[in-house]
Chain A
Amino acid sequence: MYRQGVADFPYFLGIDRLDQIATPDDRVCVLNILGGESRTVTPVSHAFSGGNVVFGTSPGRSGQVLKTPTGDIPVFNTVLEGLKAGYRFNTGVVYLPPSGVRDGVAELIRVNPDLRKIVIITEKIAVHDAREIRAMAQTSGIDIVGGNCLGVADSWSRVRIGGALGGDHPEESLIKGSVAVFSNSGGFTTTIAQYMATAGWGTTTLISSGKDVYIQYGARDFAHAFGNDPRSRAAVLYVEPGGYYERGIEWSKPVVACVVGRWKSRLTRAVGHAGAMAGSGDSAEDKERWFMEAFGVSGIFTPATPHVSVKGALVTNIADIPAALTAVMALNGDSPDFSPRGSLKLKPWIANDQGLQLPSEIALPVVTAPSPYDQQIAGLSQQIGAVIARQGMKDKSGASVMDAQTQVTSVHGHTVLDLALQPLEAMFALPLVHEIADANDRALLDVAVAAEVNLVGDPILVATDAARAAGNAPNAIMAVAAGITGPRRLERALACAQALIEPFARSGLRDGRDEGFDLSKIQVDDETRRLFLATADEADDPRPEAMLDAIAARGGRSVFLNFLQGLGARVSRDAILAAITTTIAWGPLVRKRISRLTAETLPWYLRLYGVMVGATIPGQHHQSGSLWGIPRAERFQDWTMADLCCLAMTGKRPAPNEALYIQILIGLLISNGPGAISAQGAKGAVAADGPQTPERVQINKAMMGFLTHSGYSHGGNGFEGMAFLLDQFRDSGLTDPANPNHGLDLRAMARRFAVAYKAEKRHAKELGQEVRALPGVHHPVFKGKPENFDPRERFIARFMEERGEYNVFHDFYRHLVREMFEVGASPYVFCVNVDAIIAALLLSVLWKDYQSGALTSRDLETAAFTVFLFGRMIGAAAEIDDHLNRGRNMDTRTPASACGHVL
């Protein structure tokens, strides 16, 4: 049953011409006007259309209004209430949820005799409801567009009804012209209009038809109104598979049809898009054929194969629409509406290759986006560095993670095993710049830290000597030094870093080592300039010049140092430190690997590194111009961090292989993940200061947190392995642990111990006592196989073997685990664990001095603890920086409900 509408259609159709679809006279009522989607879309439509929405409904919200740029839209509980209030409308827009759409349509039809049109935006309406909606509208003589559509718009009269055609800036896409658009896809309705503008074609009426089984305003209905619309010289259709809507239509004017969706026939299931069940004569291929027959063309139009007739062209890619349209219209003697606007070529707006060298066809250069997006993107680039979301960081870390299977910890994506093979300077930088430092950056780091190690004249030295004399372990001594390296001592260095980052952030500098960079772009005011320069009080400080000389001698390059040296006056040590840290940080900063906060706090970490290493050297060795007898210039220009660390432990510069051992030891000890007590101490200290106000977090106090959370059990136990080895080798006559021709029968030594250990075990068992565990042997994870290996020990052992390095203590351990099994002291061959290799390497470095009496066993114990602290200092820096960037105030506390009480 239907009312007879225009023409002789066997169903009701009320719209005779396209200009009747969205007219300036239409008055609109929006159902569910305060719903999430309508709330953002309706104000734009209303304003664009000059205020065509008379009221909206939202049950229970009568009396509220929807604010729009052109005035408030009143809201009523029901349509009837709005009508009774005196409002009149001829067009309904439905934003109701799917289950309410049918009833909403019924309401519009039943209570408003003036109703002529309904636009249904809602998607996922049940077919059942769509059927009934169709029947209701047909019976009552109402035109419906949708559902599951974005409504209709008219570029001539600047009216938009229903959904969001043209998005939040409809004037950008809805450009007046001569082409009508009918599209199964809402999004593509706008996109097609945009594409056409690139060939100079504007639009008349645009209809987003929706693509449900019931397309209430279909292609045939459109064809009729298009034929009668004198404004429209041509039409573009975007069509998807499903339904017979486009079959057998005779088009009275040129048409470009875009049929997309061949892929759908590969799916054997029904596809929700465009309705009908796949594979029933309404596939994409079928529809292509219908249009080809209608246009009298033999193929699909592409730029390479321009099949086209005066009647039209078929395309299968929307990018081909503009060219096809121009070609069809040329055959009709028609030219575009206006000059082409823009182009559809690839234009990357934002890109980051993360330092990769990509092939040129992929590494397309970034172009300036059209206004206003260009200013917005420029705004983004002003914001230098990564932006990191905050979250509760209790027992979590963005810096470190331990693989439970391999027990190998990674820091910023690098396993400690890999780190152990990197130069020590690179390790020290990693937690802060998240990347492995290159040779230039390492040279700068060496100088920066070397300049902080000698504490002569500094109260720190008095305090640390006093702490040492009081019998403290090295962690407590270092904590004293860290405690004095407080915020005020770093105030100027941090300010210098900020003052360097600020102007360079806007300069386009990509590489902090780019010495060709045009520094004339960088301007600073007098106050900032003064910040960088040494004060009169610092006239006697020889370090600025020594640092600059050392950097020059090492061939270090830095834009920031160049800038400082161009200031024409003596630069302070703080400024040089800041220039070094900013150089190292710059690449990761512009690549957004690290935050600006990290880059700005870097000087604090480097100073702490230097001071903490320096604090382990007794006060008498800190002299003006020399440290433990090493002249300043030599230390600054030649020494690496591994050399300095070794100096702190042994009082001398290590041989190359000894430096390597120290580097490996420190690398292995960097981190055990956020669950380690040392990490927890550091994280707790940051949480307690409140990372959400990062400027108040005392990084030196966080370092103390790590130090107070290490101790004789956690860190100091490294000596146990050495003590065990000392027992075994004390009277062996060993002179050089690195010489494989040592002349010792390691197997016999190991067997002797194994036999004794077995007896000891049996005895302990008889007495019901606990058997002592052997340091360096066995592991709770790597066990249970006939022969067991700790992968960390294997990794280092393989590396050493490949380099031809030999270590007698490690060799002894390998014999020991086998002999223990042979004599029955262990049920299978235990693994030699990573602690063994640490003990073996360290003892190898210290052996000769121990044998000569230069070092006591107490010194060995201190050295073992110190090397742990050096390593963990790096891991702690990573956790501190991570927690500072990601954490929330007091986020490490444990809720009372999770705490226990014991008696």
Chain B
Amino acid sequence: MQVTGMLTGARLLAHVGFPTSEILGPDATEDQIQGLIDRHGLIFIKPLFRGGVGKKGKAGLIGRARDLGTALAEKERLYFAEHRHGNAVAKANGVTFEAGVPAEHEVYFAITDDTRFRAPTMTLTHRGGVDIEELDKSEIASVPFDALTGMKAFVVANALTEIGAPREIISPLTQHLPKLWELMHHYGMTTLELNPIRMMPGRDGRLTPIACDLKCGFDRDDPRVGRLGLPDYLFAADISEFEQEVNQLRTHQGQSDVFVINEKGTILAPTFGGGANSLVTEVLGDVAIISSDFGGNPPYEKMKAVASICYRHFLKQTNVLFIIGGKSNNTDILETFRGMGDALREHFARHGPVPLYVVVGRGGPNLVRGMGNLADTLDSLGVPYRFFGFDSAISEVVNHAKQVDQWMRGGGRAEIARAMNISV
């Protein structure tokens, strides 16, 4: 759950009264854009991405304009721009028009929880506007502070003094930056970065920090995010349709985030336990469809609902349904297996059977009762299976599932289809 850019950023900063540049959204009229140019001389046109997309400038995705014609041409160029970073491709849908802010000084500011200090930590430099990684460490202040007292003015003043910041920026930053802690801490953020903050001179020569770009990450486990009233679609780009649907069922009892690893994978692996998830996802590689952690003792209804969603999205392409976890400590195997089995039965009834092989590797309370229940279901559906207890190495069971998948790819799927009387 991340937000980048000033269209939403300005709204967020308004909650704590932090100054921002003037901004127009994609629906701005030509008159409004002309007015913006008239007031500020220079405007920037930036593509509008949902979710967290950074380094737009480096990618040549920021336009500049001093007249309406250029502004509209840049709008056309950037409206559906694509941004590629590693594996991730983001597609813009719209542009923003942001007022240029004349300034001598550009400041980089961020707050995040730094695991080196196990405390909220402010990162600050008066040499902002560039990638923070490019600067010498002596020019950057990285200061942990007490979460209970918060990021106070003196923390900012001390840090700026330490790195030799120009005198004229110390006072306005000391006055304004502590507001950002309020925003970060009280609205469920895990990280907040403003870069650049441009120090705009006022009529009396006094500088005012103007936020010109914002990135922030939200904590999905923090209900304080709701205070901001952000629309859901802002985060929709973060996740696939499946992820959106299944993660709605995420509560503190069972099921952490579920990710799609390969939409064309052939092993559907409901995994129990974070460790097991890591191991399984790693060993399965590209054949895995999802990465999941359904541990934490989910109740029957929830397990069934989650399994139904997984089946609806992916069972058709699945060769191996691979239910895998270590020896559970408190997750009730009977409840979870019953949920997944019943969901499978209902899926077959509603959408027709699919050729499938089930591999299970599991341990924990009510293990044999759970296995017995699932076996009954699979028997009634005619689905072949092999269940391993906790005394088989989980990594070996994962390799076994891969082996079954290979066999399925090499004709086994058709063989099972014939045995189950499914036309393929």
A contact residues vs B (CB 8 Å cutoff) = 1, 11, 36-37, 40-41, 97-99, 122-129, 131-132, 134-136, 139, 150, 163-168, 173, 183-188, 190-191, 194-195, 211, 213-216, 218, 238, 240, 242-245, 247, 260-264, 266-273, 275-277, 279, 282, 316-319, 342-356, 358-359, 361-362, 364, 369-370, 373, 376-377, 379-380, 383, 386-389, 398, 413-414, 591-593
Across the interface, do B389 and A593 meet the contact criterion of CB distance under 8 Å?
Answer: no
Across the interface, do B2 and A270 meet the contact criterion of CB distance under 8 Å?
Answer: yes
In the bound complex, how far is the Cα of B257 from the Cα of A552, in angstroms?
Answer: 64
In the bound complex, how far is the Cα of B251 from the Cα of A349, in angstroms?
Answer: 33
Q: Which residue of B lies closest to A170 (CB)?
A: B329
- The answer to whether B403 has its CB under 8 Å from any CB of chain A is yes
Given known contacts A97-B252, A134-B147, A386-B380, A187 and B276 CB-to-CB distance under 8 angstroms: yes
For B52, B251, B277, the residue with the greatest tally of chain A CB atoms inside 10 Å of its CB is B277
Q: Which residue of A lies closest to B114 (CB)?
A: A244
In the bound complex, how far is the Cα of B375 from the Cα of A352, in angstroms?
Answer: 8
Q: Which residue of B lies closest to A348 (CB)?
A: B386
Across the interface, do A260 and B275 meet the contact criterion of CB distance under 8 Å?
Answer: yes
Across the interface, do B273 and A194 meet the contact criterion of CB distance under 8 Å?
Answer: no
Inter-chain contacts of B118 with A (CB < 8 A): 11, 134, 214-216, 218
Q: Which residue of B lies closest to A388 (CB)?
A: B380
Q: Which residue of A lies closest to B362 (CB)?
A: A349
18 other contacts beyond A126-B222, A361-B403, with CB at 8 A cut-off? Answer: A126-B188, A150-B329, A167-B365, A184-B274, A186-B273, A187-B273, A213-B113, A216-B118, A238-B275, A247-B116, A261-B278, A262-B282, A269-B239, A359-B407, A370-B389, A373-B367, A373-B368, A413-B382
Across the interface, do A349 and B388 meet the contact criterion of CB distance under 8 Å?
Answer: yes
14 interchain pairs, CB-CB under 8 A: A1-B149, A167-B328, A167-B364, A185-B273, A247-B116, A260-B279, A269-B52, A273-B278, A317-B395, A319-B394, A349-B371, A362-B403, A370-B391, A591-B379
Q: Which residue of A lies closest to B251 (CB)?
A: A124
Given known contacts A353-B384, A413-B420, A277 and B191 CB-to-CB distance under 8 angstroms: yes
Across the interface, do B222 and A127 meet the contact criterion of CB distance under 8 Å?
Answer: yes
- Distance in Å from the Cβ of A10 to the closest Cβ of chain B? 8
- The answer to whether B396 has its CB under 8 Å from any CB of chain A is yes
Inter-chain contacts of A218 with B (CB < 8 A): 118
In the bound complex, how far is the Cα of B399 from the Cα of A361, in angstroms?
Answer: 11
Given known contacts A124-B252, A190-B326, A261 and B419 CB-to-CB distance under 8 angstroms: no
Across the interface, do A185 and B392 meet the contact criterion of CB distance under 8 Å?
Answer: no
| The residue from B146, B191, B223, B330 contacting A163, defined by CB atoms under 8 A apart | B330
Across the interface, do B329 and A127 meet the contact criterion of CB distance under 8 Å?
Answer: no
Across the interface, do A127 and B113 meet the contact criterion of CB distance under 8 Å?
Answer: yes
Inter-chain contacts of B349 with A (CB < 8 A): 398
- Distance in Å from the Cβ of A86 to the closest Cβ of chain B? 31
Across the interface, do A345 and B396 meet the contact criterion of CB distance under 8 Å?
Answer: yes
Inter-chain contacts of A267 with B (CB < 8 A): 259, 291
- Distance in Å from the Cβ of A315 to the closest Cβ of chain B? 10
For B2, B191, B291, B329, the residue with the greatest tally of chain A CB atoms inside 10 Å of its CB is B329
| The residue from A125, A348, A358, A591 contacting B221, defined by CB atoms under 8 A apart | A125
For A191, A194, A244, A353, the residue with the greatest tally of chain B CB atoms inside 10 Å of its CB is A191
- The answer to whether B393 has its CB under 8 Å from any CB of chain A is yes
In the bound complex, how far is the Cα of B116 from the Cα of A190, in angstroms?
Answer: 28
Across the interface, do B279 and A318 meet the contact criterion of CB distance under 8 Å?
Answer: yes
Given known contacts A131-B113, A211-B274, A356-B416, A191 and B385 CB-to-CB distance under 8 angstroms: no
- Distance in Å from the Cβ of B260 to the closest Cβ of chain A? 9
- Distance in Å from the Cβ of A379 to the closest Cβ of chain B? 8
Inter-chain contacts of B119 with A (CB < 8 A): 131, 134-135
Given known contacts A128-B219, A135-B119, A347-B391, A164 and B148 CB-to-CB distance under 8 angstroms: no
For B2, B115, B185, B371, the residue with the greatest tally of chain A CB atoms inside 10 Å of its CB is B115
Q: Which residue of B lies closest to A320 (CB)?
A: B395
If over half of A's interface residues share one DSSP class (helix, strand or loop), that class is named, otherwise mixed; here it is loop
Given known contacts A188-B326, A344-B396, A316 and B282 CB-to-CB distance under 8 angstroms: yes
In the bound complex, how far is the Cα of B297 from the Cα of A260, in angstroms?
Answer: 23
In the bound complex, how far is the Cα of B147 from the Cα of A99, in angstroms?
Answer: 18
Number of residues of chain B lying within 8 A (CB) of chain A:
104
Across the interface, do B272 and A260 meet the contact criterion of CB distance under 8 Å?
Answer: no
Across the interface, do B115 and A123 meet the contact criterion of CB distance under 8 Å?
Answer: no
In the bound complex, how far is the Cα of B281 from the Cα of A266, in angstroms?
Answer: 11
Q: Which residue of B lies closest to A342 (CB)?
A: B391
Given known contacts A1-B146, A361-B403, A344 and B392 CB-to-CB distance under 8 angstroms: yes
Inter-chain contacts of B384 with A (CB < 8 A): 352-354, 356, 358
Q: Which residue of A lies closest to B279 (CB)?
A: A260
Across the interface, do A261 and B375 meet the contact criterion of CB distance under 8 Å?
Answer: no
In the bound complex, how far is the Cα of B393 from the Cα of A347, in angstroms?
Answer: 9
| The residue from A167, A273, A591 contacting B256, defined by CB atoms under 8 A apart | A273
Inter-chain contacts of A358 with B (CB < 8 A): 384, 407, 412
Across the interface, do A187 and B295 meet the contact criterion of CB distance under 8 Å?
Answer: yes
Q: Which residue of B lies closest to A375 (CB)?
A: B368
Ordered nearest first, which 6 A-B pairs have the shortest CB separation? A185-B275, A592-B379, A187-B273, A164-B329, A188-B275, A344-B393
In the bound complex, how far is the Cα of B273 from the Cα of A134, in angstroms?
Answer: 25
Inter-chain contacts of A269 with B (CB < 8 A): 2, 52, 238-239, 259
Inter-chain contacts of A185 with B (CB < 8 A): 273-276, 278
- The answer to whether B327 has its CB under 8 Å from any CB of chain A is yes
| The residue from B147, B275, B400, B403 contacting A183, defined by CB atoms under 8 A apart | B275
- The answer to whether B120 has its CB under 8 Å from any CB of chain A is yes
Residues 265-320 of B at the A interface (beta carbon under 8 Å)? 272-279, 281-283, 285, 291, 293, 295-297
For B118, B328, B349, the residue with the greatest tally of chain A CB atoms inside 10 Å of its CB is B118
Given known contacts A97-B252, A123-B296, A126-B222, A40 and B391 CB-to-CB distance under 8 angstroms: no
For B185, B326, B375, B397, the residue with the greatest tally of chain A CB atoms inside 10 Å of its CB is B326
Across the interface, do A191 and B283 meet the contact criterion of CB distance under 8 Å?
Answer: no
Q: Which residue of A lies closest to B404 (CB)?
A: A362
- The answer to whether B182 has its CB under 8 Å from any CB of chain A is no
- The answer to whether B123 has its CB under 8 Å from any CB of chain A is no
- Distance in Å from the Cβ of B295 to the closest Cβ of chain A? 7
In the bound complex, how far is the Cα of B85 from the Cα of A120, in angstroms?
Answer: 38
In the bound complex, how far is the Cα of B164 from the Cα of A900, in angstroms?
Answer: 87
- The answer to whether B424 has its CB under 8 Å from any CB of chain A is no
Across the interface, do B325 and A36 meet the contact criterion of CB distance under 8 Å?
Answer: no
- The answer to whether B87 has its CB under 8 Å from any CB of chain A is yes
Given known contacts A99-B223, A131-B113, A270-B2, A40 and B420 CB-to-CB distance under 8 angstroms: no
Given known contacts A185-B274, A356-B384, A362 and B365 CB-to-CB distance under 8 angstroms: no
- Distance in Å from the Cβ of B307 to the closest Cβ of chain A? 16
Inter-chain contacts of A127 with B (CB < 8 A): 113, 190, 219, 221-222
Inter-chain contacts of B217 with A (CB < 8 A): 270, 277
Given known contacts A98-B252, A124-B252, A132 and B275 CB-to-CB distance under 8 angstroms: no
Across the interface, do A173 and B327 meet the contact criterion of CB distance under 8 Å?
Answer: yes
| The residue from A242, A270, A352 contacting B379, defined by CB atoms under 8 A apart | A352
Across the interface, do A346 and B275 meet the contact criterion of CB distance under 8 Å?
Answer: no
Given known contacts A11-B118, A131-B120, A266-B87, A380 and B276 CB-to-CB distance under 8 angstroms: no
In the bound complex, how far is the Cα of B118 from the Cα of A297, in angstroms?
Answer: 29
Across the interface, do B386 and A351 meet the contact criterion of CB distance under 8 Å?
Answer: yes
In the bound complex, how far is the Cα of B281 from the Cα of A437, in angstroms?
Answer: 43
Across the interface, do A128 and B274 meet the contact criterion of CB distance under 8 Å?
Answer: no
- The answer to whether B387 has its CB under 8 Å from any CB of chain A is yes
| The residue from B116, B185, B282, B386 contacting A263, defined by CB atoms under 8 A apart | B282
Across the interface, do A191 and B394 meet the contact criterion of CB distance under 8 Å?
Answer: yes
In the bound complex, how far is the Cα of B396 from the Cα of A727, in angstroms?
Answer: 73
- Distance in Å from the Cβ of B84 to the closest Cβ of chain A? 11
For B291, B369, B380, B420, the residue with the greatest tally of chain A CB atoms inside 10 Å of its CB is B380
In the bound complex, how far is the Cα of B408 from the Cα of A359, in angstroms?
Answer: 11
Given known contacts A128-B188, A380-B372, A263 and B147 CB-to-CB distance under 8 angstroms: no
In the bound complex, how far is the Cα of B104 from the Cα of A256, in angstroms?
Answer: 53
- Distance in Å from the Cβ of A417 to the closest Cβ of chain B? 12
Inter-chain contacts of B116 with A (CB < 8 A): 244, 247
- Distance in Å from the Cβ of A65 to the closest Cβ of chain B? 21
Inter-chain contacts of B412 with A (CB < 8 A): 358
